[in-house]
Structure formats: structure tokens, C-alpha cells
Amino acid sequence: MFRNNTSCNIVIRNPTIHHVDTGERDGITVQKNSTNVWVDYNEFYKTSSTP
């Protein structure tokens, strides 16, 4: 999981993230006081098997 806290001008691009929890979690967390965060072209999978 990628966790971002109190950062600015961050680009998260093209990762493939697997074993994502169901429910409230999605594999990327942007926490308070972070600004200008761009999340683009990502693939998320519940298991390790990708198409």
C-alpha cells in the first residue's frame, strides 16, 4: 500500500496494486495536509492474478 501524509505535488502513475482490501481501503491513502496529489492510470486487483 502507498500512504501519503503531509506532502505536496505528488504524482502516482501506472502502478498495478494487488491484494487490495475490500471495504474502505483501496491501496492508496492520501492523508490530511497533502495537496496537489494526482493519481492516474492505476490498476487495482483483489488478488494477485492480473488479466
Q: Is position 24 within any domain?
A: yes
pLDDT at residue 42, rounded to an integer: 85
14: Cβ–Cβ under 8 A, 6 or more apart, which residues?
40, 41, 42
Task: Establish how many alpha carbons lie within 13 A of residue 47's alpha carbon, considering only the half-sphere containing its beta carbon.
Answer: 3
d(CA 3, CA 27): 8
pLDDT score of 19? 79
The reply to whether 51 falls in a domain is no
Query: Is the CB of residue 30 less than 8 Å from the CB of residue 8?
Result: no
pTM exceeds 0.85, yes or no = no
Domains held by the chain: number: 1
pLDDT of residue 31: 79
State the chain's maximal CA–CA distance in angstroms: 36
Segment 1-51, tens digit of pLDDT: 667 778 889 898 998 888 777 666 667 878 788 889 888 988 888 776 655
Give the range of the structural domain holding residue 11, as residue numbers without chain letter: 2-44
Confirm whether 50 is domain-assigned.
no
Grid coordinates of 29: 491513502
